[in-house]
Protein backbone atom coordinates (compact mmCIF):
# COMPACT_ATOMS: atom_id res chain seq x y z
CA UNK A 1 0.00 0.00 0.00
CA UNK A 2 1.45 3.35 -1.01
CA UNK A 3 2.13 6.14 1.48
CA UNK A 4 -0.43 8.36 -0.24
CA UNK A 5 -3.15 5.71 0.16
CA UNK A 6 -2.25 5.20 3.81
CA UNK A 7 -2.35 8.91 4.43
CA UNK A 8 -5.75 9.17 2.70
CA UNK A 9 -7.19 6.34 4.78
CA UNK A 10 -5.78 7.84 7.94
CA UNK A 11 -7.46 11.15 7.03
CA UNK A 12 -10.87 9.60 6.29
CA UNK A 13 -11.25 7.04 9.05
CA UNK A 14 -10.48 8.72 12.36
CA UNK A 15 -11.63 12.18 11.40
CA UNK A 16 -15.12 11.33 10.22
CA UNK A 17 -17.93 11.20 12.79
CA UNK A 18 -21.43 10.37 11.60
CA UNK A 19 -23.86 13.07 12.73
CA UNK A 20 -27.41 11.79 13.19
CA UNK A 21 -30.19 14.16 12.21
CA UNK A 22 -32.90 14.99 14.78
CA UNK A 23 -35.47 13.19 12.64
CA UNK A 24 -33.25 10.12 12.35
CA UNK A 25 -32.71 10.08 16.11
CA UNK A 26 -36.45 10.40 16.73
CA UNK A 27 -37.27 7.59 14.25
CA UNK A 28 -34.67 5.29 15.83
CA UNK A 29 -36.03 5.93 19.31
CA UNK A 30 -39.65 5.62 18.25
CA UNK A 31 -39.01 2.18 16.73
CA UNK A 32 -38.32 0.94 20.25
CA UNK A 33 -41.82 1.99 21.33
CA UNK A 34 -43.76 -1.09 20.24
CA UNK A 35 -46.97 -0.05 21.93
CA UNK A 36 -46.66 3.36 20.25
CA UNK A 37 -46.29 1.69 16.85
CA UNK A 38 -49.47 -0.30 17.52
CA UNK A 39 -51.24 2.94 18.41
CA UNK A 40 -50.05 4.54 15.16
CA UNK A 41 -51.34 1.55 13.20
CA UNK A 42 -54.72 1.68 14.91
CA UNK A 43 -55.09 5.43 14.33
CA UNK A 44 -53.98 5.04 10.72
CA UNK A 45 -56.66 2.39 10.21
CA UNK A 46 -59.28 4.69 11.72
CA UNK A 47 -58.14 7.52 9.44
CA UNK A 48 -58.46 5.31 6.37
CA UNK A 49 -61.93 4.20 7.46
CA UNK A 50 -62.91 7.81 8.02
CA UNK A 51 -61.88 8.72 4.47
CA UNK A 52 -63.53 5.79 2.71
CA UNK A 53 -66.57 5.47 5.04
CA UNK A 54 -69.11 6.85 2.52
CA UNK A 55 -67.92 4.32 -0.07
CA UNK A 56 -68.03 1.18 2.10
CA UNK A 57 -71.11 1.65 4.27
CA UNK A 58 -73.45 -1.24 3.37
CA UNK A 59 -76.57 0.82 4.21
CA UNK A 60 -77.54 4.44 4.42
CA UNK A 61 -76.76 5.26 8.07
CA UNK A 62 -79.84 7.46 8.44
CA UNK A 63 -82.45 5.25 6.76
CA UNK A 64 -84.99 3.90 9.26
CA UNK A 65 -86.47 0.41 8.87
CA UNK A 66 -88.70 -0.03 11.89
CA UNK A 67 -89.37 -3.68 11.09
CA UNK A 68 -85.63 -4.37 11.65
CA UNK A 69 -85.29 -2.49 14.93
CA UNK A 70 -83.04 -3.85 17.72
CA UNK A 71 -81.74 -6.81 15.77
CA UNK A 72 -78.78 -8.67 17.25
CA UNK A 73 -75.53 -8.76 15.21
CA UNK A 74 -76.01 -11.10 12.25
CA UNK A 75 -74.77 -11.75 8.75
CA UNK A 76 -76.94 -8.95 7.33
CA UNK A 77 -76.29 -6.33 10.00
CA UNK A 78 -72.82 -7.06 11.41
CA UNK A 79 -73.27 -4.87 14.50
CA UNK A 80 -77.04 -5.18 14.71
CA UNK A 81 -79.57 -2.35 14.36
CA UNK A 82 -80.63 0.45 16.66
CA UNK A 83 -84.07 1.35 18.03
CA UNK A 84 -85.09 2.84 14.66
CA UNK A 85 -83.85 -0.07 12.57
CA UNK A 86 -80.75 1.75 11.30
CA UNK A 87 -77.64 -0.33 10.56
CA UNK A 88 -75.20 0.12 13.46
CA UNK A 89 -72.14 -0.83 11.41
CA UNK A 90 -72.85 1.90 8.86
CA UNK A 91 -73.40 4.42 11.63
CA UNK A 92 -70.17 3.37 13.36
CA UNK A 93 -68.20 3.97 10.15
CA UNK A 94 -69.73 7.40 9.64
CA UNK A 95 -69.18 8.22 13.31
CA UNK A 96 -65.46 7.49 12.90
CA UNK A 97 -65.24 10.28 10.35
CA UNK A 98 -67.26 12.69 12.50
CA UNK A 99 -65.28 11.99 15.68
CA UNK A 100 -61.82 12.29 14.11
CA UNK A 101 -62.71 15.49 12.25
CA UNK A 102 -64.24 16.94 15.38
CA UNK A 103 -61.15 16.09 17.42
CA UNK A 104 -58.89 17.67 14.80
CA UNK A 105 -60.98 20.86 14.74
CA UNK A 106 -60.91 21.13 18.53
CA UNK A 107 -57.13 20.58 18.60
CA UNK A 108 -56.64 23.33 15.99
CA UNK A 109 -58.72 25.76 18.06
CA UNK A 110 -56.68 24.93 21.17
CA UNK A 111 -53.43 25.31 19.23
CA UNK A 112 -54.40 28.66 17.69
CA UNK A 113 -55.51 30.07 21.04
CA UNK A 114 -52.92 28.60 23.38
CA UNK A 115 -49.64 28.69 21.44
CA UNK A 116 -49.39 32.41 20.55
CA UNK A 117 -50.48 33.47 24.03
CA UNK A 118 -48.00 31.07 25.64
CA UNK A 119 -45.17 32.43 23.49
CA UNK A 120 -46.04 36.03 24.34
CA UNK A 121 -46.43 35.38 28.08
CA UNK A 122 -43.21 33.37 28.37
CA UNK A 123 -41.12 35.81 26.35
CA UNK A 124 -42.42 39.17 27.60
CA UNK A 125 -42.98 38.13 31.25
CA UNK A 126 -44.13 40.95 33.53
CA UNK A 127 -47.78 41.99 33.72
CA UNK A 128 -48.55 40.27 30.40
CA UNK A 129 -47.51 36.92 31.85
CA UNK A 130 -49.41 37.53 35.07
CA UNK A 131 -52.65 38.53 33.31
CA UNK A 132 -52.65 35.67 30.79
CA UNK A 133 -51.67 33.11 33.42
CA UNK A 134 -54.50 34.20 35.71
CA UNK A 135 -57.02 33.87 32.86
CA UNK A 136 -55.71 30.38 32.06
CA UNK A 137 -55.94 29.37 35.72
CA UNK A 138 -59.53 30.59 35.95
CA UNK A 139 -60.53 28.55 32.88
CA UNK A 140 -58.80 25.44 34.23
CA UNK A 141 -60.45 25.89 37.63
CA UNK A 142 -63.91 25.51 36.07
CA UNK A 143 -64.93 21.89 35.35
CA UNK A 144 -64.21 21.38 31.66
CA UNK A 145 -67.51 19.77 30.71
CA UNK A 146 -69.51 22.42 32.54
CA UNK A 147 -67.56 25.23 30.85
CA UNK A 148 -68.01 23.62 27.42
CA UNK A 149 -71.75 23.23 28.03
CA UNK A 150 -71.98 26.94 28.89
CA UNK A 151 -70.21 27.90 25.65
CA UNK A 152 -72.48 25.63 23.59
CA UNK A 153 -75.51 27.12 25.33
CA UNK A 154 -74.37 30.58 24.19
CA UNK A 155 -73.34 29.63 20.64
CA UNK A 156 -76.06 27.05 19.96
CA UNK A 157 -76.30 23.27 19.69
CA UNK A 158 -74.06 22.26 16.81
CA UNK A 159 -70.99 20.08 16.33
CA UNK A 160 -68.90 23.07 15.17
CA UNK A 161 -69.84 25.07 18.25
CA UNK A 162 -69.10 22.04 20.42
CA UNK A 163 -65.60 21.81 18.93
CA UNK A 164 -65.02 25.52 19.56
CA UNK A 165 -66.06 24.96 23.17
CA UNK A 166 -63.74 21.98 23.56
CA UNK A 167 -60.91 23.94 21.94
CA UNK A 168 -61.37 26.83 24.38
CA UNK A 169 -61.47 24.45 27.36
CA UNK A 170 -58.24 22.73 26.26
CA UNK A 171 -56.36 25.90 25.18
CA UNK A 172 -54.90 26.60 28.68
CA UNK A 173 -53.02 23.30 28.51
CA UNK A 174 -51.31 24.40 25.29
CA UNK A 175 -50.68 27.79 26.88
CA UNK A 176 -48.96 26.33 29.94
CA UNK A 177 -46.79 23.93 27.92
CA UNK A 178 -45.63 26.67 25.54
CA UNK A 179 -45.13 29.23 28.29
CA UNK A 180 -42.96 26.87 30.34
CA UNK A 181 -40.83 25.95 27.32
CA UNK A 182 -40.51 29.60 26.28
CA UNK A 183 -39.28 30.59 29.74
CA UNK A 184 -36.39 28.15 29.28
CA UNK A 185 -35.59 29.06 25.67
CA UNK A 186 -35.57 32.83 26.27
CA UNK A 187 -32.57 32.44 28.62
CA UNK A 188 -30.41 30.78 25.96
CA UNK A 189 -27.38 32.52 24.46
CA UNK A 190 -28.74 32.56 20.91
CA UNK A 191 -31.76 34.58 22.06
CA UNK A 192 -29.47 37.21 23.61
CA UNK A 193 -27.49 37.25 20.37
CA UNK A 194 -30.67 37.76 18.32
CA UNK A 195 -31.71 40.65 20.58
CA UNK A 196 -28.28 42.27 20.35
CA UNK A 197 -28.41 42.22 16.56
CA UNK A 198 -31.67 44.17 16.59
CA UNK A 199 -34.17 41.34 16.13
CA UNK A 200 -37.75 42.31 17.00
CA UNK A 201 -39.79 40.28 19.48
CA UNK A 202 -42.18 38.85 16.82
CA UNK A 203 -39.22 37.86 14.61
CA UNK A 204 -37.40 36.18 17.50
CA UNK A 205 -40.54 34.34 18.59
CA UNK A 206 -41.21 33.08 15.08
CA UNK A 207 -37.66 32.12 14.06
CA UNK A 208 -35.97 31.16 17.33
CA UNK A 209 -38.44 30.41 20.11
CA UNK A 210 -41.25 28.57 18.29
CA UNK A 211 -38.96 25.98 16.58
CA UNK A 212 -37.47 25.15 19.98
CA UNK A 213 -40.81 24.53 21.71
CA UNK A 214 -42.29 22.28 19.03
CA UNK A 215 -41.27 19.01 20.70
CA UNK A 216 -43.56 19.29 23.75
CA UNK A 217 -46.25 20.73 21.46
CA UNK A 218 -46.32 17.55 19.39
CA UNK A 219 -46.92 15.51 22.54
CA UNK A 220 -49.62 17.89 23.76
CA UNK A 221 -51.32 17.81 20.36
CA UNK A 222 -51.62 14.02 20.49
CA UNK A 223 -53.01 14.10 24.03
CA UNK A 224 -55.46 16.86 23.12
CA UNK A 225 -56.91 14.75 20.30
CA UNK A 226 -57.87 12.05 22.78
CA UNK A 227 -59.24 14.69 25.14
CA UNK A 228 -61.34 16.19 22.32
CA UNK A 229 -62.81 12.83 21.29
CA UNK A 230 -63.81 12.11 24.88
CA UNK A 231 -65.41 15.54 25.35
CA UNK A 232 -67.16 15.39 21.95
CA UNK A 233 -68.66 12.06 22.94
CA UNK A 234 -69.79 13.54 26.27
CA UNK A 235 -71.39 16.60 24.66
CA UNK A 236 -73.08 14.50 21.96
CA UNK A 237 -74.27 12.08 24.64
CA UNK A 238 -75.97 15.05 26.31
CA UNK A 239 -77.45 16.25 23.01
CA UNK A 240 -75.15 19.28 22.70
CA UNK A 241 -72.88 18.03 19.93
CA UNK A 242 -73.86 16.15 16.79
CA UNK A 243 -77.56 16.61 16.15
CA UNK A 244 -79.97 13.92 14.84
CA UNK A 245 -80.16 12.22 12.44
CA UNK A 246 -76.35 12.45 12.07
CA UNK A 247 -74.34 9.90 13.98
CA UNK A 248 -71.36 10.08 16.32
CA UNK A 249 -70.09 7.67 18.93
CA UNK A 250 -71.54 9.91 21.63
CA UNK A 251 -75.00 10.14 20.10
CA UNK A 252 -75.05 6.38 19.56
CA UNK A 253 -74.29 5.89 23.25
CA UNK A 254 -76.90 8.43 24.25
CA UNK A 255 -79.69 6.72 22.32
CA UNK A 256 -78.74 3.20 23.36
CA UNK A 257 -78.57 3.57 27.14
CA UNK A 258 -82.31 2.98 27.50
CA UNK A 259 -81.95 -0.35 25.67
CA UNK A 260 -78.93 -1.69 27.58
CA UNK A 261 -80.71 -4.75 28.94
CA UNK A 262 -82.43 -5.67 25.67
CA UNK A 263 -79.62 -4.75 23.26
CA UNK A 264 -76.30 -4.31 25.12
CA UNK A 265 -74.35 -4.41 21.85
CA UNK A 266 -75.63 -0.91 21.08
CA UNK A 267 -73.58 0.38 24.03
CA UNK A 268 -70.58 -1.94 23.71
CA UNK A 269 -69.43 -1.05 20.18
CA UNK A 270 -69.40 2.76 20.36
CA UNK A 271 -68.07 2.59 23.91
CA UNK A 272 -65.17 0.40 22.78
CA UNK A 273 -64.50 2.75 19.86
CA UNK A 274 -64.22 5.74 22.21
CA UNK A 275 -62.11 3.82 24.73
CA UNK A 276 -59.63 2.44 22.19
CA UNK A 277 -59.27 5.70 20.26
CA UNK A 278 -58.64 7.82 23.35
CA UNK A 279 -56.22 5.18 24.64
CA UNK A 280 -54.38 5.12 21.29
CA UNK A 281 -53.90 8.91 21.29
CA UNK A 282 -52.64 8.86 24.89
CA UNK A 283 -50.25 5.99 24.19
CA UNK A 284 -49.02 7.78 21.08
CA UNK A 285 -48.36 10.93 23.10
CA UNK A 286 -46.34 8.97 25.66
CA UNK A 287 -44.38 7.18 22.91
CA UNK A 288 -43.57 10.45 21.15
CA UNK A 289 -42.47 11.99 24.45
CA UNK A 290 -40.13 9.06 25.12
CA UNK A 291 -38.80 9.14 21.56
CA UNK A 292 -38.03 12.85 21.72
CA UNK A 293 -36.18 12.44 25.01
CA UNK A 294 -33.28 14.73 25.79
CA UNK A 295 -30.60 15.77 23.38
CA UNK A 296 -27.83 13.74 25.03
CA UNK A 297 -29.77 10.49 25.37
CA UNK A 298 -28.84 7.56 23.06
**Between 27 and 235, where is the model more confident?**
235
Q: How far is CA 142 from CA 132, 240, 260, in A?
A: 16, 19, 32
Mean pLDDT in residue range 262-282: 89
* Alpha carbons 172 and 118: distance in angstroms, whole number: 9
Q: Per residue in 40-59, pLDDT tens?
A: 999 999 999 988 988 888 88
* Alpha carbons 94 and 90: distance in angstroms, whole number: 6
Q: Tell me the pLDDT band of 18, cut-offs 50, 70 and 90.
A: low
Residue 28, pLDDT > 50, answer yes
Q: Closest Cα partner for 236 from 131, 112, 128, 152? A: 152
Q: For residue 208, what are the contacts with CB-CB under 8 A and spacing of at least 6? A: 185, 190, 191, 194, 199
The 3-state secondary structure of 85-117 reads CCEHHHHHHHHHHHHHHHHHHHHHHHHHHHHHH
Report the helix count and the strand count for the chain, using DSSP H and E. 13, 0
Mean pLDDT in residue range 190-212: 84
Total-model pTM: 0.81
Residues, the chain:
298
Q: Per residue in 91-122, pLDDT tens?
A: 999 889 888 888 888 899 999 999 999 999 99
Residue 272, pLDDT > 50, answer yes
Q: Tell me the pLDDT band of 13, cut-offs 50, 70 and 90.
A: very low
Amino acid sequence: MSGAQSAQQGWDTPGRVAVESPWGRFARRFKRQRVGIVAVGFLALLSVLAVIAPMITPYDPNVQVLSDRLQDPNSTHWLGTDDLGRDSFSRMLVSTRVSLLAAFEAAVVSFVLGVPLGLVAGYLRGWTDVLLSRVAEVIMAIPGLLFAMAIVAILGRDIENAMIAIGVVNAPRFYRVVRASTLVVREQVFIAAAVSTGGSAPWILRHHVLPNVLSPLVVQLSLSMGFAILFEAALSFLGLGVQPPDASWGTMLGRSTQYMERAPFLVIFPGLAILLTVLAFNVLGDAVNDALGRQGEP
